[in-house]
Amino acid sequence: MSSNQSRNPFSDLNGMGLSLAHIKVFFTAGMGFFTDAYDLFIIGAVLDVFSKTSIPGFDVATKVLGMPLSGFLGASAIFTAIIGQLLFGALADRFGRKSVYGIEATLMVIGALLSAVSPNLYWLIASRLVLGLGIGGDYPVSSVIMSEYANARDRGKLVALVFSTQGVGSLTAILVGALSALFLPPGLAWRVMLGVGAIPALSVIYLRRKVPETPRYALLVKRDKTEAERAAGLLGARISGAAASRSMPVMEFLRRYWLTLLATAGAWFLMDIAFYGSGVYSGPIVSSFIPISSSLPASVQIERLILEAGLPFIVGLPGYYLSVALMDRLGRKSIQLTGFAGMAILYLIVASIMEVSGTKIVGFLIPASYALSLYVLTFFFIDFGPNTTTFVVPAEVYPTRYRTTGHGISAAAGKAGAAISTLLFPSLELAIGIRGILMVYAVAAVLGLGLTLLLREPKQKDLETVSEEDIVPLA
């Protein structure tokens, strides 16, 4: 029988209040996402260094397959993140969350250190591929561990809080990048930028390996009530009765949840087209509004470029925490709809006030500082809206047997959008200019609005109800 037809064995866990144990799980999961964001966005600062100085072996303008190596470097970690999301998502459903937790953080450490000692650009791209595998693996496992330990009332804010560390990681990347560029020679600065990314991941490897299996996976999939009770006991909760999740072949899962997969994966794909394209290449976009004087020393140009690139992330940061505060009040759908709508409107406005000659921006119909303010405001709506909600929802709407798989597929779709946008941005900038790129982002946001309407609202509902879990009692 389904969970709404019988007593939910997690009723005590669902009904409990927020505890220090929840916060410990948040820290363990959140520090990984701090690392994810730092490692993904520090590459923008590294590209700024390579574009402004000549470092032997690191000419990002070199073309391969007709595209600059800057695109391959910017997208390298994103490509393998797709593999990591699918692989670790499937493994965590097959063998358990605990069995793989910590492995992805280890890969992030190895990738960051190899990146920092890279002798040439091709080595650096290869090292970023290793890094991306760990980054990708962190998405489905960390989100679902937090979701499956959370109570019903606070689940949205707890999972969103894990993701909000991305905002802090992005700002840390900007700070480390700017200070490194200002006080270190270029040949050392970029290595320090990349090497720092190993530190936060190192800090949580031990904690992750010690996290118990989640009570839901232990009971419903492993059918180990003793292990489930031990895990629930860490939160001060009890498991009421022995139960299991009904076996579900892959084809049945796809038949029952294909529309949900379309909504979660499609919205994430569209959101990341805008977020990563504008995020990794934030420097050249922002400098197109307020150009940096070429008469300044190269180190100062790089530092200014990195700081200006950070403006959107600074404006976006409060959006994460407003989303955390309102996630369990307004609901995921309302927040995601608001975010996509704000993105679409602002992209269209900014594109419409640009004066262009060919693909080059030559001016604005309003003062450039006002135009820039409107542009950076898009990051607030991204972070308040779909950047956070597309991470939260897939951790809730799939059954336990396929929860990390469903999240991994959704996240991989997002990273596919990110990879396409990041890889093609340098070529698109030459072909259609910044104005044309913003129009593409506006279309993506409008399509995201439509897909959001397909979602079920998980607000204030227990996981078993939201995911339509088929629970059968055991003797």
Measured distance CA(95)–CA(469) in Å, rounded = 19
| Confidence at residue 5, expressed as pLDDT on a 0 to 100 scale | 39
Two tokens, residue 475: 């003797």
Q: Determine the straight-line distance between the first and last CA of the chain, rounded to whole angstroms.
A: 14
In a domain, 261, yes or no: yes
**DSSP notation for 135-152:** HHHHHHHHHHHHHHHS-T
State which H helix or E strand residue 471 sits in. strand 471-473
- E-strand ranges in 48-128 read 63-64, 67-68
> How many CB atoms are closer than 10 A to CB 154?
18
Instruction: Indicate if the alpha-carbon torsion angle 421, 406, 155, 459 is positive or negative.
Output: positive
Measured distance CA(100)–CA(26) in Å, rounded = 17
In a domain, 97, yes or no: yes
Two tokens, residue 9: 């064995």
In a domain, 6, yes or no: no
In a domain, 3, yes or no: no
Quote the domain boundaries for residue 17: 11-473
CA 231-392-451 angle, to 5 degrees, is 145
In a domain, 135, yes or no: yes
Domain count, the chain: 1
137 close to 188: Cβ distance less than 8 angstroms:
no
296 close to 181: Cβ distance less than 8 angstroms:
no
Measured distance CA(24)–CA(9) in Å, rounded = 23
- E-strand ranges in 315-359 read 354-357
DSSP letter, residue 365: S
Measured distance CA(210)–CA(367) in Å, rounded = 55
Among 284, 285, 282, 301, residue whose Cα is nearest residue 293: 301
Instruction: Indicate if the alpha-carbon torsion angle 390, 395, 398, 401 is positive or negative.
Output: positive
In order of 73, 187, 311, 313, 383, the CA distances from 177 in angstroms are: 17, 13, 14, 14, 22
- For residue 356, list its beta bridge partners: 361
Low-confidence ranges of the chain (pLDDT < 70): 1-6, 65, 293, 475
Give 279's contacts (C-beta < 8 A, 6+ positions apart).
41, 44, 170, 312, 313
| Confidence at residue 475, expressed as pLDDT on a 0 to 100 scale | 65
Measured distance CA(120)–CA(118) in Å, rounded = 6
Count helices and strands (H / E) in the chain.
19, 6
Among 78, 134, 158, residue whose Cα is nearest residue 391: 158
Measured distance CA(3)–CA(461) in Å, rounded = 12
Measured distance CA(347)–CA(275) in Å, rounded = 12
| Confidence at residue 2, expressed as pLDDT on a 0 to 100 scale | 42
Residue 174, phi then psi, degrees to nearest 5: -65, -45
What's the CATH code of the domain at 136? 1.20.1250.20
State which H helix or E strand residue 104 sits in. helix 103-116
In a domain, 1, yes or no: no
271 close to 382: Cβ distance less than 8 angstroms:
yes
Measured distance CA(141)–CA(290) in Å, rounded = 41
- For residue 244, list its beta bridge partners: 472
| Length of the chain (residues) | 475
Q: What is the 3-state composition of the chain as percent helix, strand, coil, each rounded to the nearest 5?
A: 75, 5, 20
447 close to 337: Cβ distance less than 8 angstroms:
no
